[in-house]
Amino acid sequence: MIKRIFDFSSSFIGLIILLPLLIFISFAIKLGSSGPVLFSQKRVGKDGKLFTLIKFRSMSVYQESRSTATARGDARITGVGSFLRKYKLDELPELWNVLKGEMSLVGPRPDVPGYADSLKGTDRNMLKLRPGITGTASLKYANEEELLASQENPQKYNDEVIFPDKVKVNLEYYENQSLWLDIKIIFATIFRTSY
């Protein structure tokens, strides 16, 4: 309950304070490439229920690849999108998902169907958490796009190495979660430090 109150109040205040930046980014996206400002996609949420995640569009609307693993230098990423992704600014609209209760500020990143919802046994404890804008696995894999870019088969490496490790890290968070830990993770995300 305390976590939800913290999430609601923080996202509400955040959306108000960041409104000028959100408007500026929206204009930059429209000027940089054709297509909508926002990108929406069905993701797996708490208890395996689907919800619609929204974020700033960072990729071209017209794309041939359907890979869910995005490497640095991916041809689908727009010029403005590259900057947004580097500083995680594309994630800011997810504050709306947090406000609605579909996400939390801190938790496992929400996956597309076929990943978290396919977990078995105690690994499914991860689904007891609301997905987050940031989290322990997000911090560990802050350089994920660069890591994937160095692989011969980024999608395979994501599925066989990164995703299983993210599950392990997220389960550790599940076992040790607290408001204080969330605050440390948020500050570590903002200032790009360890927590």
The 10 Å CB-count burial string (b at 16+, else e) for 73-99 is ebeebbebbbbbbeebbbbbbbbbbbb
The whole-number pLDDT of residue 71 equals: 59
Q: How long a stretch of residues is the chain?
A: 195
For the chain, what is the radius of gyration of the CA atoms?
16
Closest CA to 105 of 133, 82, 84: 133
91-120 tens-digit pLDDT: 999 999 999 999 999 999 999 999 988 899
34 vs 71, residue with greater confidence:
34
Is the predicted pLDDT of residue 141 greater than 90, yes or no?
A: yes
The model's pTM: 0.89
Average pLDDT, the chain: 92
pLDDT in tens, 18-69: 999 999 999 999 999 999 999 999 999 999 999 999 999 999 987 655 566 6
The secondary structure of the chain, three-state, reads CHHHHHHHHHHHHHHHHCHHHHHHHHHHHHHHCCCCCEEEEEEECHHHCEEEEEEECCECCCCCCCCCCCCCCCCCECHHHHHHHHCCHHHCCHHHHHHHCCCEEECCCCCCCCCHHHCCHHHHHHHHCCCEEECHHHHHCCCHHHHHHCCCCHHHHHHHHHHHHHHHHHHHHHHHCCHHHHHHHHHHHHHCCCC
pLDDT score, position 66: 58
- DSSP β-bridge partners for residue 42: 52
Q: Note the pLDDT of residue 69.
A: 65
CA distance 156 to 164: 12
What pLDDT is attached to residue 189?
94
